[in-house]
Amino acid sequence: MQRFVDLCEIFVLAGHGGPGKIGFRTEKFIPKGGPDGGDGGKGGDVVFVVDTNLNTLRDFTYRLKYHAEDGAQGESGLRSGKGGDNLRIKVPPGTLIRDKDTGDLICDLEKEGEEYIVCKGGKGGRGNNHFKSATNQTPRRADTGMPGEERHLILELKLVADVGLVGYPNAGKSTFLAAVSDAKPKIASYPFTTLTPNLGVVRRDDWQTFTVADIPGIIEGASMGKGLGLQFLRHIQRVRVLCFILDASDPNYEVQFTSLKQELLAYDPTLLNRSELVLFNKLDALDEEGRAEIDAAVNKDMIAISALEKINIDVAVARLWDKLLESKLDSDVAPE
């Protein structure tokens, strides 16, 4: 199983500025050429850049130190040394970067191509030309260049999804994600099948797509650490629409709905202000009486579906899309 990594620590170091050059002109017919040592090149910066093809921080567990290139030494003829290349580190969208020593948030990278310079490269040292004076025409002195900035960082990933699926274990969240998106999550008939979040892209047509996050199941008492706890709720803190999935074939589904809401409230009360859609799943498994009960409950914010038999899936997707558009008007953030 691939490990999902959403928190890690690394050390980054920008390039050292190149040293200045000590040199003198030595051309023919110019016997006493003056100092002509060029300046050192600037050290490379450490830059973080969003790559939407990534969705975990796993790569950072293999390598803990990152160093941008140093600047080159200055050259004769007053030529500056070459600047060190910037080190561009790719991170998935939704990566928060903190300074480990101060705890301060440095940046929050969300959109494709977004980037941030976390450490600046050191300035190159001055060549000996700069040290020429009336009393010293042949300075044998140059700067060494400044060190690059360095930092211990904590990277934290919060998935950026439009819709978050919330439900008890075994309710059919992963089955729903598989039915609507390109994701292939593990599905099984026992609770806590999903141990790490899954992200899927729902494609209505070429330009209407949105992302859905499927997180591990939540049970009553999760805020006190029961089950897998609430740690994964951080991944749906940024969603615009919460989609509750209830197992309508379970006689306790109403009680479960109430406790899900209580757990969300305990974790982050603002989650309850999101736009919501409730899906009564496993419609296919209901007897006539159960069906009648669900039929009475459905309305524009509550739909009966079967994720397994793909009943009413299109209706659910259309409703999620409408809700995203409505919430877009509120927050003015467009669905991708």
Ligand X SMILES: Nc1nc2c(ncn2[C@@H]2O[C@H](COP(=O)(O)OP(=O)(O)OP(=O)(O)O)[C@@H](O)[C@H]2O)c(=O)[nH]1
From 22, 109, 146, 171, residue interacting with ligand X (rule: CB under 6 A): 171
Which residue, 215 or 264, is less far from Mg ion as judged by CB? 215
Where helices occur in the chain by DSSP H, the ranges are 173-180, 253-267, 288-297, 313-331
Footprint (CB under 5 A) of Mg ion, residues 130-189: 174
User: Which of 2, 53, 189, 299 is the binder for ligand X (CB under 6 A)?
Assistant: 189
281 binds, among Mg ion, ligand X, none (CB under 5 to 8 A by kind): ligand X
Residue 99: phi and psi, rounded to 5, are -80, 125
Q: Does 252 help bind ligand X (rule: CB under 6 A)?
A: no
Amino acid at 314: D
Does 220 engage in binding with ligand X (CB under 6 A)?
no
Interacting span for ligand X (CB under 6 A) from 24-32, 73-81, 131-139, 276-284: 276-284
Does residue 56 bind Mg ion (CB under 5 A)? no
Using the 8-state DSSP alphabet, how is residue 177 labeled?
Answer: H
* CA 66/CA 119 separation, integer angstroms: 11
Is 194 a binding residue for Mg ion by CB under 5 A? The answer is yes
**Contact between 281 and ligand X per CB under 6 A:** yes
Determine, following the binding rule CB under 6 A, whether residue 196 of this chain makes contact with ligand X: no
Segment near ligand X (CB under 6 A), from 30-38, 114-122, 305-313, 328-336?
Answer: 305-313
Q: Across the beta sheet with 208-214, what order do the strands follow? A: 198-205, 208-214, 163-167, 241-247, 275-281, 302-304
Instruction: Give 167 or 335: the residue with its C-beta nearer to ligand X.
Output: 167
Cβ contacts of residue 12 below 8 Å, gap of 6+? 46, 65, 66, 67, 68, 87, 89, 118, 119, 150, 151, 153
Give the interface segment with ligand X, choosing from 30-38, 39-47, 186-194, 203-211 (CB under 6 A).
186-194
Picked from Mg ion, ligand X, none, the partner binding residue 13 (CB below 5 to 8 A depending on kind) is none
Residues 200-219 that bind ligand X (CB under 6 A): 216-217
Q: How far is it, in rounded angstroms, from Cα 336 to Cα 334?
A: 6
The smaller minimum CB distance to ligand X, of residues 119 and 278, is found at 278
Q: Which positions ≥6 away from 87 have C-beta within 8 Å?
A: 12, 14, 15, 44, 45, 46, 47, 66, 67, 68, 69
User: Under the rule (CB under 6 A), what is the footprint of ligand X?
Assistant: 167, 169-175, 187-189, 191-194, 216-217, 281-282, 284-285, 306-308
